[in-house]
Amino acid sequence: MNSPRVVLIIINYNGKNHLAQCLDSLFAQTYKNFEVVVADNHSSDGSVAFVQKHYPQVEVMAHNKNLGYGKAINLAVKARISQKEFQYFGILNNDIKLDPQWLEKLVAYSQKNPQAGILSGKILLYHWPKYVNSTGVNINYFGYGWDRDFFCEDKLCQRQSGPVLAVTGSATLIKRGVFEAAGFYDHDYFLYYE
């Protein structure tokens, strides 16, 4: 399989207690052609020093104020998009633990399905991992988004891979061409729906 380069961007705000688990799950990935950036939104809990001390291979973008989710992503993506070796951008919350094959499976799926520009896997609830958090996002008649299959038991949720209206932002892989064609996250939304 061709091994395109990926930059994985973790958006962090006072998430020091979560960062070790998140970063350890990244460095345990079976897919190895990536680098990691922590975009820190002016944390006051020592997050930046923690990452710099324990994960020196991670680049930290330390902002001087809380820019919000979308704007922090945009700055990190814009810093890398001109570097043509990066074909994918992973956008990650700080409080996740990825399956070791998460990145390998998403890149492989993307290469087999070139029409898929934004990808995510099944997301399980952090404290109750036998239940699903999301298998994609739907929108109701009033324009509100909701997570498909929320709180369904994982072993009973047998969704096939395929198109969805949207994906949750907690663990997303986006082709560089999507940013080039559609633009960046809408940072008028400080958090959620961006």
Angle in degrees, CA 17, 29, 194, rounded to 5: 60
Specify burial of residue 97 (Cβ count, 10 A radius: 0-12, 13-18, 19+).
middle
Closest C-alpha among 140, 12, 125 to residue 72 = 12
The predicted pLDDT at position 74 comes to: 87
- pLDDT tens-digit series, residues 136-193: 999 888 988 889 999 999 999 989 898 888 888 899 999 998 878 787 766 776 555 5
- pLDDT tens-digit series, residues 45-81: 999 999 999 999 999 999 999 988 888 888 999 998 8
Q: Which residues have a Cβ under 8 Å from the Cβ of 159 and sit 6 or more positions away? A: 122, 135, 149
- Residues belonging to the chain: 194
This prediction's pTM: 0.90
- pLDDT tens-digit series, residues 174-183: 999 887 878 7
Query: Tokens representing 110?
Result: 């993307």
